[in-house]
């Protein structure tokens, strides 16, 4: 695989810093549902995603999972742990196949401590993640399922640079924190309106403009945060 940098965080760094990170990394393929980090402590590896996207999820007491964050080609996994020792309640895993620069977390910690450029880039990205988390929490509290589903589809397309995803409705319901019957109704209405295509295990975005018309303002709010991050 050619070593082309298509990760926006890496692209924001100066050339010397970027080369130091890549020199210590391996270019790897990522498979659907591959676990990148588990709850309970810092990861052994960090990933600068080039394509595909990962979900950060919290497991509730009843065993259900709810998504609290997304990582795509705009950033890296495990960024919170660079801020200092801590335990985590969430795990991170791949939602759609992709590629990434994989780096031992200990190597990344050393670079983070030694490089003001990398430290600045990561801290700005963490601020973005916190803003996204806060907006998503508010969205999940006050908005209906349809605008939330539209927001989520648009967001994962932005992060993954793809229009078709291997996602089941059971899994989507878990990620959005809504019931499967509710998601079925919303998904059928989107399909009937020509916004998405659906076959077993796959969702395809057909009409992005239509989805934007339905999505709550939370989508544009979080999109602008990302735009400003790398302006």
Q: What is the CATH number of the domain that holds 171?
A: 1.10.10.10
The alpha helices in the chain, defined as continuous H runs, are 8-12, 15-23, 105-114, 116-142, 145-160, 169-176, 180-192, 208-214, 217-229
User: Which pLDDT belongs to residue 46?
Assistant: 96
* Least confident piece of the model among 9-23, 135-149, 170-184: 170-184
Number of domains in the chain: 2
Are 89 and 168 found together in one domain? no
Q: Residue 161 sits in which domain range? A: 144-229
What is the DSSP secondary-structure string of 79-97? Answer: GGGGGSS---SEEEEEEE-
Mean per-residue pLDDT of the chain: 90
Final residue in a domain of this structure, among 138, 163, 187:
138
Q: What is d(CA 166, CA 158) in angstroms, rounded to the nearest whole number?
A: 16
Final residue in a domain of this structure, among 79, 110, 138:
138
With tokens 């209906």, the residue in question is: 144
Cα torsion through 121, 123, 124, 125, rounded to 10 = 90
Quick: pLDDT tens for 152-196: 999 989 888 788 888 888 888 888 888 889 999 999 999 999 999
Final residue in a domain of this structure, among 79, 105, 138:
138
User: Does 1 have pLDDT greater than 70?
Assistant: no
User: Which pLDDT belongs to residue 198?
Assistant: 84
Q: What is d(CA 127, CA 122) in angstroms, rounded to the nearest whole number?
A: 9
Q: What is d(CA 147, CA 194) in angstroms, rounded to the nearest whole number?
A: 16
User: Does 38 have pLDDT greater than 80?
Assistant: yes
Are 152 and 73 found together in one domain? no
Are 132 and 161 found together in one domain? no
% of the chain beyond a pLDDT of 90: 64
pLDDT class of 5 with cuts at 50, 70, 90: low
Are 66 and 154 found together in one domain? no
User: Which pLDDT belongs to residue 4?
Assistant: 52
User: Which pLDDT belongs to residue 165?
Assistant: 85
Nearest to 79 by CA among 128, 30, 33: 128
CA 140 vs. chain centroid, Å, equals 17
Other CB atoms within 10 Å distance of the CB of residue 201: 11
Nearest to 67 by CA among 76, 75, 55, 78: 55
- In this predicted model, which residue has the larger pLDDT, 112 or 91? 112
Are 98 and 178 found together in one domain? no
Are 26 and 110 found together in one domain? yes
Are 92 and 169 found together in one domain? no
pLDDT class of 2 with cuts at 50, 70, 90: very low
Are 111 and 159 found together in one domain? no
């Amino acid at each position: 695989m050619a070593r082309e940098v298509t990760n926006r965080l890496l692209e924001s760094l100066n050339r010397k810093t970027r080369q130091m990170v890549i020199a210590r990394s391996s270019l790897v393929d990522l498979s659907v549902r591959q676990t990148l980090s588990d709850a309970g402590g810092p990861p052994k590896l960090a990933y600068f995603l080039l394509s595909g996207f990962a979900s950060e999820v919290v497991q509730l007491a009843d065993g259900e999972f709810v998504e609290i964050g997304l990582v795509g080609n705009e950033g890296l996994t495990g960024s919170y742990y660079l801020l200092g020792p801590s335990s985590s309640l969430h795990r991170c895993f791949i939602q759609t196949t992709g590629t990434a620069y994989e780096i031992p977390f200990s190597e990344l910690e050393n670079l983070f401590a030694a490089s003001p450029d990398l430290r600045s880039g990561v801290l700005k990205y963490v601020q973005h993640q916190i803003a996204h988390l806060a907006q998503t929490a508010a969205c999940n509290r006050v908005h209906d399922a349809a605008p939330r589903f539209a927001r989520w589809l648009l967001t994962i397309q932005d992060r993954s640079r793809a229009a078709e995803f291997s996602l089941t409705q059971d899994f989507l319901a878990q990620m959005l924190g809504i019931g499967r019957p509710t998601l079925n109704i919303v998904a059928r209405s989107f399909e009937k309106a020509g916004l998405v295509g659906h076959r077993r295990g796959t969702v395809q975005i057909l009409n992005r403009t239509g989805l934007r018309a339905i999505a709550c303002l939370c989508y544009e709010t979080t999109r602008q945060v990302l735009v400003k991050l790398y302006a």
